[in-house]
Chains A and B, each alone.
Chain A
Amino acid sequence: MSDALQVLTRRFGERCRQNGEELAALVAARDEAGLKLLSHKLVGAAATFGHPGLSEAAAAVEDQLDLGGWPDAAALDRLRIQLAAMADA
């Protein structure tokens, strides 16, 4: 991986802390549109930066939103944990 790509990958990891805070706010506000946008972005971005666990956790949340319901606690917890792990890495 080039130096530039390594920097971008590290920056993505650092931004996961902000994403975790955004997730908490969206869940507190029960903001479906905002959560859809965040989860969708994380599906693609996390996979692009080589974090399949985070991508899959975001996909599970997005899938439940696409089915018309608010994501269950397990899916939201999994996403929160994945984001926290990235932020602490």
Chain B
Amino acid sequence: MSRLSVLYADDEPDIREVATFALELDPEIAVTAVEDGAAALAALDAGLVPDVILLDVMMPGMDGPATLTRLRERPAHERTPVVFITARAQAHEQERFRSLGAVGVITKPFDPMTLAGRLRELLDA
């Protein structure tokens, strides 16, 4: 399996930790976890080059969709795959997220044992 660098933004510390733990059960995945969209952009400004960006939808300050919009304004990251993670996304919301340019949506609750595989499936689709 290919190595995967993941930038993950989620303001909920418990979920951030469990998702990081779950993703890194795959030994080929390395996660950089930050607390919100602004911190994700700052990590990119600092030189991080992730293979995929995983964004919580609801975050205070800059939420997931706003972060994606800002990402797409940056030539270096206009094509970096983005996956949203959220609780209870209805079908029309998932469609809206995809129309913004996300490659997929992972819903909470997620199974920690299969999260990494789910992310890889979305990237391979």
Minimum CB distance partner of A15 in chain B: B14
A57 to B58, CA, bound (A): 19
- Contact partner of A44 (CB less than 8 A), chosen from B13, B60, B108, is B108
Query: B interface, how many residues as a size bin?
Result: 10 to 19
Within 8 A of A (CB), among B99-115: 107-110, 112
Q: Any chain B CB within 8 A of the CB of A49?
A: yes
Q: Which of B13, B58, B108: most chain A Cβ within 10 A?
A: B108
Tell me, yes or no, whether A78 is within 8 Å of chain B by CB: no
> Is B86 interfacial (CB 8 A cutoff)?
yes
Report B49-105 residues with CB < 8 Å from chain A CB: 58, 60, 86-88
Please choose the segment from B15-23, B26-34, B40-48, B117-125 that sits at the chain A interface, where 4 or more of its residues have CB less than 8 A away. B15-23
What is the number of contacts between chain A and chain B, taking CB atoms within 8 Å?
55
Contact B21 A48, beta carbon cutoff 8 Å: no
Q: Is the CB of B87 within 8 A of A40?
A: yes
Identify A45's interface contact among B12, B21, B88, B107, CB under 8 A. B12
Contacting residues, chain B, for A48 (C-beta < 8 A): 15, 18, 108-110, 112
Against B, the Cβ 8 Å flags (1 = close, 0 = not) of A43-77 are: 11101110000010001001000000000000000
- Which residue of the partner chain A has the closest CB to B57? A40
Q: Does A28 contact B (CB under 8 A)?
A: no
Flag if A11 contacts B108 (CB, 8 Å): no
Q: Which of A5, A40, A48 has the most CB of B within 10 A?
A: A48
- Mind listing 16 A-B residue pairs with CB under 8 Å? A4-B21, A5-B18, A5-B21, A8-B17, A9-B18, A11-B17, A37-B60, A41-B87, A43-B88, A44-B15, A44-B86, A45-B15, A45-B87, A48-B15, A48-B112, A62-B88
